Structure 1
């Protein structure tokens, strides 16, 4: 068996392929928003709950919200959904719409949203 064949068999055994998976159908979003310094702890608790519930959605591949290390009132949101439809369904969930309504009262700046796509 050639080295190429051994590599191919090894990669296939790991569930990988020699060509990159086409992930262009995925919906990937990176967003950031700065909160008012007076934001109550309850909003942060709601944000932790939003992350947990979002991760349970069948179309959610990844959902993370972190604070910027040098700007603790700035949240950075990174979301990956299987496709645009899964993302749209996510946005319609009651806990998401509720979080966005609550965000309106505590944000110090407009949310910046960037759609991303994988390098291929």
Structure 2
């Protein structure tokens, strides 16, 4: 993996194996062996390669940096909407059945008690 990354970053900088080898004071065969996975550069050489290719050691080892994007947690938002709808629905059904606003409020609150219990016991992801 390291060798493939060295080759990828070297070619991206339009650098030959000879040019990289000269800057590292090693032979072209050494660079070729790294890139073909026959050998691995030591940590000091890896650090020098990273400096020459303008990348981090982590990029040489693991590949290009992964760009992370922040995605709104729509699951939690949708769950909150669903829970609110459920509480409202419980209140409406209670009022229609018993014709009492007190029972409607009671069942709405009871729904939220159940929701809180469920979240505490199982978490948002179930």
TM bin (shorter chain):
under 0.3
Q: TM-score, normalised by structure 1?
A: 0.26
Q: Higher relative CO (CA 8 A, sep ≥ 6), structure 1 or 2?
A: 1
Larger strand fraction of residues: 1
Larger helix fraction of residues: 2
